Structure 1
Amino acid sequence: MASILKGTSILVLAATLAAPCLALAESAYPAGPIRLLVGYTPGGASDIVTRTVAAALGKQLGQSVVVENKPGAASNIASAFVASSKPDGYTLLLGTIAMSINPSLYKNLTFDPVKGFAPISQVASSPFMLVATRQSGITSVPDLIDKARKAQPSLTYASAGIGSGANLFMEYFRSKAGIPLVHVPYKGTVPAVTDMLGGRVPLTFDNIMTNLPLVKEGKFVALAVSTKTPAAIAPDVPPLSQFVPGFEATAWFGLFAPAGTPRAVIDKLNAATVKAMQDPQARDALDKMGAQAVTSTPAAFTTFYKAEIDKWGAVVKAADIKPE
């Protein structure tokens, strides 16, 4: 009995001594550079948002926030890496709307999309823009709906691939509007746009960062944006909900840490993120892209993230979308 009590006392003593050390480590955080992973290649919208956030967050934390691109598998490679990383606040993920789509598309994920992460804060959002080619002759959403109901064969739309945002947003619209549309998936945005410009596909519903420049060049016709209100960067383009009641969707970006990251670290990162996204330089960079800074508490972001998984899971199921 004495030996058991002695062993227990040693464990209690060890825990007592460890607690102040852990608290000290958390209060000193961050004591070195932070890795911020993004699941896409350099140069795209997600990468640009990530680098904007990294620069602003680094200023607030007083440490370098180093962006690391780890593309592949619709961002699942980066997500899996972060979910399995040490939960110390030094490896973070810039997640996108793909994180809420992938759980319903991929049945054999190597990480738990909810339990594997500690959400920190949303950082930005961006509307999608529904566009048609000039060659199509489609000039408005009512015109599109009318033509879609009468077209033989059915109208087609392009996307960057099965399960991409462009695919899901258009399927959500198609379902809400009750119209037939045929999906033509490509391996990326560039080949999709190339075929649209060649007159082979008339429609797409992609991020405003991708579509607005082509609208300004006169190559695409802007029909609507996905958000409840017009986008500041394109105030004359109406919300889709004006024609299809109940439609609302947005592309979002947010910061995640591995599950198990100490609460003190999450709170410090959240506070720094809120201040970072108020930085005029960061806000201006996002505004020019057609995005806007958005922040939230860890609890609110967790609730939002779970709701997005449910929302897009229902769209995937209704459209019977299968991964490539």
Structure 2
Amino acid sequence: MKRRQVLKTLGAGAAALGAPAYAWAQKFPSQPIKLMVAFPAGGPTDITMRVLAENAGKILGQTVIVENRPGAGGTLPAQQLQLAKPDGYTLAQIPLGVFRLPYTAKINWDPVKDITYILCVTGYSFGLVVPADSPLKTWADFVAWAKANPGRLTYGSTGALTSPHLTMEEIAQKAGIELNHIPFKGSADLMQAILGGHVMAAADSTGFIPHVQAGKLRVLNTWGAKRLAKLPDAPTLTELGLGIVQASPYGIGGPKGMDPGLVKTLHDAFKQAMEMPNHVEALAKYDQELMYMGSQEYSRFAAETFKKEKALIEKLGLAKPS
């Protein structure tokens, strides 16, 4: 009884001092951390996130294990967070598709309120490619063929309701064309499909560049604010008169209700990890740059993006029936 009373007194003292509960229970982390990635192994996201995870593990003194959860437009890791304890041992990549989910599917959680936003890491450089031997040599050719053959021009993306899919639908709407969308689980599957002639075009992040450099694919446009250094001849969507810029920022989140001290520990470790030269170099291979946002800024970004994505989904007519 005396021991129980002493422990109770110590616990009350800790609460009075405002010490985080986890700090009194154990030193974090005391076991490996799981980081769920929204896309399959072998793609640009998986490759760069594994470098980030390894760096963070060294800083934290525990292994950060990458677990691939592809499918459902990149939203499976965020959905899995709803089942996890807010103890810092389960984290997830948060792609932009997470903010579209309530508008396109029936879910019982809120992407803004039910995720703890730790930090934003980077975004993508996107583009549209066709096989090198395709008769569609330019964007003008692409539009002309699509107009002459409504609904017959097939293009692949990294999944339904992902940024490549929605951006292509917005492009099609602005260009006055109808396309046939074929979703894949990630970049690796999509590249196999277009190289194998199973789709006529592919909308993806720039993991396709090695295939372009090898003479297997041709780029019709890129989606950033300016032309890419590796693809100086490829026009931007803005240059083509479409007025669209898409970078699709993503970062790392945890379950709802994480202790602020725990969030800071993870934030600081991942911020240091993302700025390490090997991670910056890994991103550069896929034309990605650091897009850092701290926990508060990333939370604000989530709330603002949630509203913007609603407007886009409604504009494209893709909202779920009420």
Runs of 4+ in 1 over 6 A off after TM superposition: 11-14
Q: Deviations over 1:90-145 (max 9, x none)?
A: 211122222233332212x2432111111111112111111233344333334434
Q: Deviations over 1:253-305 (max 9, x none)?
A: 31101111111222222222222111001111121133222211112212223
Matched, 1:144 2:142: yes
Aligned 8 A contact 2:81 2:91 in 1:
yes
**What SS class does the counterpart of residue 295 from structure 1 fall into?**
strand
Alignment-mate amino acid for residue 220 of structure 1 = L
Aligned 8 A contact 1:131 1:220 in 2:
yes
TM-score by length of 1: 0.82
Residue in structure 2 matching 1:283, options 256, 277, 280:
280
* Equivalent-residue separation in structure 2 for 1:194 and 1:13 (angstroms): 60
* Equivalent-residue separation in structure 2 for 1:22 and 1:89 (angstroms): 17
* Equivalent-residue separation in structure 2 for 1:19 and 1:68 (angstroms): 39
Structure 1 portions without partners, runs of 5+:
1-10
For 1:20-169, what aligned pairs fall within 5 Å after superposition? Answer: 20=17, 22-23=19-20, 25-26=22-23, 28-107=27-106, 109-149=107-147, 151-154=148-151, 156-160=153-157, 161-169=159-167
**What SS class does the counterpart of residue 292 from structure 2 fall into?**
coil
User: What's 2:307 paired with?
Assistant: 310
| Shift, 1:78, TM fit | 2.5
Alignment-mate amino acid for residue 295 of structure 1 = Y
Moved more, 64-73 or 139-148: 139-148
Aligned 8 A contact 1:57 1:273 in 2:
yes
* Equivalent-residue separation in structure 2 for 1:21 and 1:302 (angstroms): 24
Aligned 8 A contact 2:77 2:94 in 1:
no
User: What's 2:4 paired with?
Assistant: none
| Shift, 1:158, TM fit | 1.5
For 1:292-311, what aligned pairs fall within 5 Å after superposition? Answer: 292-311=289-308
**What SS class does the counterpart of residue 254 from structure 2 fall into?**
strand
**What SS class does the counterpart of residue 221 from structure 1 fall into?**
strand
Aligned 8 A contact 1:166 1:204 in 2:
no
Q: Deviations over 1:146-176 (max 9, x none)?
A: 5544x2445523224432333212012123x
Alignment-mate amino acid for residue 139 of structure 2 = V
Matched, 1:178 2:175: yes
Aligned 8 A contact 1:226 1:239 in 2:
yes
More helix by share: 1
Q: 1:154 to 1:34 in 2, by over 3 A?
A: closer
Aligned positions, number: 309
| Shift, 1:316, TM fit | 2.7
Aligned 8 A contact 1:195 1:201 in 2:
yes
| Shift, 1:16, TM fit | 4.5
Moved more, 245-254 or 228-237: 228-237
Residue in structure 2 matching 1:218, options 205, 215, 232:
215
